[in-house]
Amino acid sequence: MSPSLTFRTGVRDVLPTVFGYIGVGLAFGIVAHTSHLSLLVVGGLSFVVYAGSAQFIITSMLLLHDPLSAIFISTFLVNSRMILMSTSLAQYFKHESLVRNLLIGTLVTDETFALAMNKQNKTNGKLSFAWQSAANLVAYLVWGVATVVGAILGGLIADPTRFGFDFALTAMFIGLVYLQLISDKHLGMSLQLSVMVFVALAYYFLIAVMSQNFALLVATVAGCLFGMELKKCH
């Protein structure tokens, strides 16, 4: 990964992540098809909701005929982590207009956020609108197309769980965490692992008293605060 922050470099930098999008997108399309969702619904979820984990949850809830209110609340809770990511990312675009910041925030994902965090390690803490927009747009388009193609191919696979397609999203997140651990030289692996363990333990105890999605949000916020305190001590 070079220190260049041009649009073209953004496209090149996001390509490795795109391969993950293709795999997970195809998996979602196949799962959605076997859940009896139409191509129109699959495309709508991908290009409007545009959130892999939430889309898997929405698909399962639609299959169970859950009320729309429950689906909306679950989707918000699952995606609420994006508020934290967008807030963290916004510090690199203080000089940009509100419209540009909204465009970046609208299309940022876990993967493009992780990519941006890795990139700023190579650029002395700098990011550009052109670079981030390229990464966001390429990821957005590839994800949408991959899910639709997956839905088309879904007719060939009767039971996607048999081949582990339902684990595709989790596998991609594991890869992103690994890349973050080995690339961020400013925080160090020990500090990052400490925060991860703290979040895991917090989540484990919180799910005993609240829903899984809300427990994840609270554990994430607590992990951010814990990480800030650890960083001050280093």
Mean residue pLDDT across the chain: 82
pLDDT value, residue 76: 81
Q: What are phi and psi of 95, to 5 degrees?
A: -80, -10
Indicate whether 174 and 216 sit together in one domain. no
Indicate whether 191 and 180 sit together in one domain. no
Indicate whether 54 and 138 sit together in one domain. yes
Q: Can you give the residue range of the structural domain that contains 206? A: 187-234
Cα–Cα distance measured from residue 61 to residue 70, given in angstroms and rounded to the nearest whole number: 9
Q: Give the best-scoring range by mean pLDDT among 103-112, 132-141, 171-180.
A: 132-141
Indicate whether 170 and 204 sit together in one domain. no
At a CB cut-off of 8 Å and minimum separation 6, what does 31 contact? 56, 59, 154, 160, 165, 166
CA neighbor of 59 nearest in space, from 176, 204, 161:
161
Does residue 3 lie in a domain region? no
Does residue 2 lie in a domain region? no
pLDDT value, residue 186: 61
Indicate whether 174 and 83 sit together in one domain. yes
Cα–Cα distance measured from residue 168 to residue 220, given in angstroms and rounded to the nearest whole number: 22
Does residue 90 lie in a domain region? yes
Angle between helices 68-79 and 81-90 (to 10 degrees): 40
Tell me the per-residue pLDDT of 155-178, one tens digit each, with 9 for 90 and over.
Answer: 776 665 666 655 655 665 565 566
Tell me the per-residue pLDDT of 15-66, one tens digit each, with 9 for 90 and over.
Answer: 988 888 888 888 888 888 877 888 999 999 999 999 887 888 788 778 778 7
Res. 86 pLDDT band, cuts 50 70 90: confident
Indicate whether 207 and 128 sit together in one domain. no
Any idea which residue has 């994006």 for tokens? 82
Cα–Cα distance measured from residue 102 to residue 181, given in angstroms and rounded to the nearest whole number: 28
Indicate whether 155 and 216 sit together in one domain. no
Of the candidates 147, 163, 184, which is a domain's last residue?
A: 184
Say whether pLDDT at 125 is over 60.
Answer: yes
What domain count does the chain have?
2
Does residue 162 lie in a domain region? yes
Q: In this predicted model, which residue has the larger pLDDT, 201 or 215? A: 201
Task: Record the tokens describing residue 165, joined without a space.
Answer: 């397609």
Instruction: Say if CB 175 and CB 110 are below 8 A apart.
Output: no
Indicate whether 105 and 221 sit together in one domain. no
Distance of CA 94 to the CA centre of its chain: 23
Minimum mean pLDDT range among 47-51, 110-114, 173-177, 200-204: 173-177
Indicate whether 172 and 198 sit together in one domain. no
